[in-house]
Structure 1
C-alpha cells in the first residue's frame, strides 16, 4: 500500500494559494544580529530598545532596516517589531528577514513560537543565536507571506486601537475619581453634576457603620465564600466544608464593607471593599462593618475604595506589620468622612457604574480580539 504524505499547508488559507509550504530553519530566512552597549553615545532622536521595549534615545543607529526584537536574556518570549532606525541593547537580538521573506509574516512566526521551551539557562531565561537559528518553521511563497503578514498587521492595528481606547477610559476614570470627591480641606468636589450645590456633610464612620461579628450558623455553605481581594464567589474545589470550619466564617451581607490588609503600591494602608455581589461569608480575619443608614451601593463602592478619600483616614486607624496592615476598628469608627446627599450619591454612583460597564465592554472586545488572533495563529500556519 502506498503511504499518503500529509500535505504541508495550514487549515485556514487564502483561496488563491494551494502549494505546499516548505520546511526550513530560521537560519535560512532570518539573520539574527546582536545588540550593543549604548552608553558611549550621545542623546539624540534614535530610539534604544531592550527586552521591555523603549528605553531612551541616542544620536546613532545600530540598524537602518526594520527588524524583529527578541530577548537574549530576561524576557525571551515577547518578540516585537522594531521600526528603523533603532539601537538595541546587548540583551535584545534584532532579527532581519532575508531576501523574499516578509517582515510581518516573520513577526507572526516569532510570536507563534513558545520561546520559553528553548530557554538555555537554569537562572535568568536566555536564548542564543544558535538556538534561534536551529528552530524549524514552515514557509510559503513570498506572495502568500505578504498576504498573511498584511492580515496580521491589520489585526494588530485593530487590537492596538482597542487597547488605546481601553487605556483612555481607565485614565478618564482615574481623573473623575480625583475630581468628583472633595480634596482635603474642601467641602465640595472640583467636578459636580448640575443641580447639586450644598456642602457635603462631615460624618463620623461610627454614625454610618457599625462593626459586626455575625458568625456563620451554617446557613451559608462553601459555595457562598467570597474572595474579598477580587469580590467574587470562590471556586469551591479547595474549600473545607466541615461544620466546625464553616462556623469560623463571618457573614458578609450586601452593602457591608470589609477591610483587607494586604499591602500594595496603590493601597499602602490596606483598603475597604463593599459587597455588591450578594450575601455570603468571608474569613474571620476580615473586619466587617454594616451600614446603619441607607446608602447608594454604587456610590459607596467607589468612595470606600478610593485611596485618595480613604488613605488619610486609614493611615491613622491602622497598625503595620511586615506584609499586612491591621485595622483598629474603634479608631476607624471615630474618623470622619464627607458625605453627599442620597440623591447626589445616586447620581455619582450611576455615573461610575456606567463608566465601569463601558470599560468592561471594551475589555471583553479586546480579549475577544486577542483570542481570535491566537486562533488565526494556530490555523494560518503549519
Structure 2
C-alpha cells in the first residue's frame, strides 16, 4: 500500500552533502541532478535530502512538466520554496519497495551514462585520428597510414574532385520553383529532405513531401545516388553522407539551403570524412559570410583545394575506418534512445499518476 506525502518531509537545505538531490527552481525549472560533493548551494537551485526513489519521482515530475505548470504565467520561470515543499508525491510505505524501484531506475541511468561515455571516447578517438591520418597544414604525408601506402597526397580543387556540385535553386528561378514545387505535410510521391532531417535522423515528426511533378522538376537534387550534403545557409561546416538505401522514403529530393556534391571517380565515403577534417573546415570558414546568417556559395566552394591520396584503395580504407567509428557512435546513440524510451515508459507504469 502506498501513501501521499509532502516534499516538506524531505528536508530542503541551503547546503548539500554528497549524494543529495539538486533541483533547479529557475529556468529550466524542475531539472534534476545529484551532487558528488559537499557544497553550498546558490540561488536558482534547491537541495533535497531523499533516496533514489524520491529522485526518480522528481525526474518524472520534470518529464511531466509539473513544475513548469506551476511556473506558467510568471515573467521569469521559477518556483518558490513553499511550492516545492507543498508538492504531494505518492510513496510506497514499504521502504524495501522504494529501494527496489530506485535501484531499477538507477541501473537504467548507469546504462545511459555508460553509453554516453563510450560516445565521448569514440568522438575523441575520431577527432585524434582525423588529425593523424590526414596531412597537417603544409604537409603531403599523414602521420599515420595503413600499410602499403607511401605516396604523397595530391592537391585538387573541390570542383575538380566532385563532378556534381548543385543545389535546390539550380532548378530555376524563384518563380519557376513556386510554380512547380508545392510543399505537402502528408506523404506523397517523394520526401523533401532538409539538413535538419539528416541531423536528427528524420525524427522531427514534421516531414515535408512533394508530388511527382515537383520531383521531376528537382531532378538535379534527386537523392537516388550516394552523395554528400553541405548546409550552405546556417549550420555551415556540417557534412552529411547520404546513402539512398538508408533513407526512410523511397523517393527523395534535397531541400533548399544546402549543396549536393558527388564524385563519380573518387570514394564519396572517404570524401565525406575528408570534408570533416581540420584542413577543409578551416578553408571553408574563410568563404563563409561573417555578417548575419552564415552562408557560402557554390562558386567559392569549388575553388577550395583538397589534399587527398590518389590511390583509390587508400581512400577506401580510410573511408571504411572512419565509417566504422561513425557506426559505433550511432549504435550507442541508438542504445541511449532505447533506454530513455524504456525509462519513460516504466516511470509511467511504476509510479502512480
Normalised by the length of structure 2, the TM-score is 0.79
2:107 counterpart of 1:137:
no
Counterpart selection for 1:118 from 70, 85, 91: 70
Map of 2:184 onto structure 1: none
Q: CA deviation at 1:181?
A: 1.4
**Aligned CA distance change for structure 1 residues 271 and 85 (closer, same or farther; 3 Å):** closer
Q: Secondary structure at the match of 1:187?
A: coil
**Aligned CA distance change for structure 1 residues 283 and 320 (closer, same or farther; 3 Å):** farther
2:105 counterpart of 1:127:
no
**Aligned CA distance change for structure 1 residues 109 and 348 (closer, same or farther; 3 Å):** same
Counterpart selection for 1:107 from 49, 55, 62: 55
Counterpart selection for 1:227 from 169, 189, 194: 194
Cα distance in 1 for partners of 2:102, 2:262 equals: 57
Q: CA deviation at 1:185?
A: 0.3
**Aligned CA distance change for structure 1 residues 229 and 250 (closer, same or farther; 3 Å):** farther
Map of 2:183 onto structure 1: none
Q: Secondary structure at the match of 1:70?
A: strand
Counterpart selection for 2:316 from 330, 346, 349: 346
More helix per residue: 2
Structure 1 regions of 5+ residues with no counterpart?
A: 1-19, 35-61, 98-102
Listed as ranges, the matches of 1:233-312 within 5 Å are: 238-239=208-209, 241=211, 243=213, 247=217, 250-253=220-223, 254-264=225-235, 267=236, 270-271=237-238, 273-277=240-244, 280-283=252-255, 285-291=257-263, 293-304=264-275, 306-312=276-282
**Residue-by-residue CA offset, 1:294-317 (whole Å, 9 max, x unaligned):** 12121112112x151322332444
Map of 1:24 onto structure 2: 5
**Aligned CA distance change for structure 1 residues 63 and 359 (closer, same or farther; 3 Å):** closer
Q: Is the 8 A contact 2:131 2:277 kept in 1?
A: no
Q: CA deviation at 1:228?
A: 3.4
Q: Secondary structure at the match of 2:22?
A: strand
2:150 counterpart of 1:179:
no
Q: Is the 8 A contact 1:63 1:85 kept in 2?
A: yes
Map of 1:54 onto structure 2: none
CA RMSD of aligned residues (A): 3.2
**Aligned CA distance change for structure 1 residues 229 and 342 (closer, same or farther; 3 Å):** farther
Greater Rg by CA? 1
More strand per residue: 1
Q: Secondary structure at the match of 1:185?
A: coil
Q: Is the 8 A contact 1:248 1:284 kept in 2?
A: no
Q: Is the 8 A contact 2:228 2:240 kept in 1?
A: yes
Q: Is the 8 A contact 1:249 1:282 kept in 2?
A: no
Normalised by the length of structure 1, the TM-score is 0.73
Cα distance in 1 for partners of 2:346, 2:229 equals: 44
